[in-house]
Amino acid sequence: TLSFDFNAMHPGIYVYHCATPMVSHHIANGMYGLILVEPEEGLMAVDKEFYVMQGEMYTTENYHTSGLNEFSLEKMINEKPTYYVFNGAEGALTTTHRMQANVGETVRIYFGVGGPNKTSSFHVIGEIFDRVYREGDLVSQPGLSIQTTTVAPGGATMVEFQVDYPGRYILVDHALSRLERGLVGFLYVDGEKDDTIFYPHEN
């Protein structure tokens, strides 16, 4: 085996993967991740930070087939995923790893798309992103008050928002049929309700 060192010369958020054929096959089997290169002055302090990556799985078997599932080259070449996942597995951000915050806290999500094929329209149902660092750009000024942000395969972003009301917030790709193939995460927010922000009532 070999290892290497490199100088991280550009601040930003970057997706890494191999360059060994077949690259897309390796990515479809989860061989990717994020690298954060902070500016020299660092990033603004926040209360909670989460790492979320979107990916696809291509199996010969149908969705939710139990037991061993074999990789399908044909499905991958035709860009027809069997599963869409956050952090490598269906349920990774709903049951396995609980994302938790409290009312009044600022949440930062480092979000990337491993792919290998599909673009994401990243959105948190019930929230507006206060700041979006598009395409992982930590040098330019962020976009403000953004509902949904587009992230290409092999691309990344950083979003920040303050949570103002308790509840379960749902992380999705706004190509929402993908939710039915496993692509969903939950952010649980605890704290006191504020009726000036949200006031459910009977008509």
* Domains of the chain and CATH, by start: 12-190 (2.60.40.420)
pLDDT tens for each residue of 113-153: 999 999 999 999 999 999 999 999 999 999 999 999 999 99
pLDDT tens for each residue of 91-120: 999 988 989 999 999 999 999 999 999 999
String of DSSP letters for the chain? ---------S-EEEEEE--SSSHHHHHHTT-EEEEEE--TT-PPP-SEEEEEEEEEE-BSSPTT--S---B-HHHHHTT--SEEEETTBTTIIIIIS-EEEETT-EEEEEEEEEESS--EEEEEET--EEEEEGGG-SSSPPEEEESEEEE-TT-EEEEEEE--S-EEEEEEESSGGGGGGT--EEEEEES---TTT------
